[in-house]
Amino acid sequence: MKVLLLMLALIGGAFAKELTLESAISIALENNLEIRAFKSDIKAKELELKSVKGSYFPKIKLEEIFTRTDIPVYAFMSKLNQERFGIEDFQPSKLNNPPAINNFETKLSIEVPLWLGGKIQAMEKTAFHNLSAVKEDYERKKDEVVLKVYHAYMDAVLAKNSVEVSHQVLKDAQEHVRLAESMYKVGTALLSDVLRARVYLSKAEENLKASENNYRVSKKAIELITNTELGDFDVVSVETCPAVSVEKLKDMALERRQDIKALQERIKVLEGMYGVVLSDNLPQVYAFGSYSLYSKSAPFGSDGSGYMVGAGISWSFDTGLSTLRRAQSYLETKRALEERLKLLKASVFFEIDKAYADYQNALYSLRSAEERIKQSQEVVRTMELRYKTGLARIVDLLDAQTELDRARFEKLQALNNCQKAYANLLYSAGLIREVER
């Protein structure tokens, strides 16, 4: 039983777990530090909106005020509020020169905003659209993270496939060394042929080591973007480049791009700020009420009590027009953002066209490399036969092998470029998260 468990452990250790592109994206969206920061930004804007909505509610205030005075009018008022006023207090000597009197006033007051020139409504509108803008920025940031993961994953796929091709190159180089050595032993090849084949083999071994190191580094890049230690894993190889309809992407781009939506929301924020500032020059209507306790000897005492209710209206106007100018500045900033919005919408189609051109170029390079691989394989086969019969030199065989190796690596690079251009296309159209499905 122990032997069986040991064998299973060895087999499990021999094969690293596979990390799919979808899994990498899911991990990144959960753990990426930039996305976490945006979540806190959204929470802050939500609290700002709640804070503004709280302005609709009455403000309640509790006060305890102590005074000691011999100023006639205040001494008269304090004693009267304490309900201790008597007929003797009307004597001129007491009215003109009253003794110092203590007064503790406990006051509970409430103020209700009835209409503040539309300020609260404008502030609520501003906070709401500000929150919406940050949410759209958050969605665009998620798209950006998905794009980074896609690129990093495809770089890892390129590195993994490069390791596989490097193994094939090494195998071919070993075969050329074996062929040159066997022909040298029977006297049909020169020692220089063997040495050249060995140099080629040494270079293939060097390239294999470099490919393995690049693969390890590319997997570290995925861990950096996902902000997660993934342990020992392998990416899933990709053999083809997805098809795409550029016209369909253009049709959907303007309504799906979150940065366009975010800018539209910020334009509405400036409209709200215009109302907030302008409200300072409009009437302010409010109601108020209070209940007071008065005592000569202790806080919260009740020698006397009374209430007051009322309503008020105030209207101030800035004769220097600074309030109006500040409000107009928001309108000018709004117009500036509207022009930037036009530019952003126009640039979306340019980005899609550029990404599609890169996609087509990479697709053409991929097909070209595939065709060159077929042709180079035939050239290598022919040169190997001619070398065996003495009709070709070892350098001719190695040159043909070099062309085959180059075509193999160029195919991998073209596939990588095609995949990245495909991702850029989706990102430009605001559809990058379609790759999650």
- Count Cβ atoms below 10 Å from residue 115 Cβ, excluding itself: 15
Residue 5: the pLDDT is 36
Structure tokens at 388: 């065996």
Per the CB < 8 A criterion, the answer to whether 265 and 315 are in contact is: no
By C-alpha distance, which of 117, 370, 108 is closest to 239? Answer: 370
Residue 437: the pLDDT is 57
Per the CB < 8 A criterion, the answer to whether 55 and 120 are in contact is: yes
pTM score: 0.81
Give 110-135 pLDDT, tens digit per residue: 999 988 888 899 999 999 999 999 99
What parts of the chain have a pLDDT lower than 50? 1-14
Per the CB < 8 A criterion, the answer to whether 261 and 187 are in contact is: no
Contacts 24+ apart (CB under 8 A), 310-315: 311/114, 311/285, 311/286, 311/287, 312/285, 312/286, 312/287, 312/288, 313/283, 313/284, 313/285, 313/286, 314/283, 314/284, 315/282, 315/283, 315/284
Residue 96: the pLDDT is 79
Residue 12: the pLDDT is 45
Q: Compute the distance between CA of residue 428 and CA of residue 437 in angstroms, rounded to an integer.
A: 18
By C-alpha distance, which of 18, 24, 437, 418 is closest to 236? Answer: 18
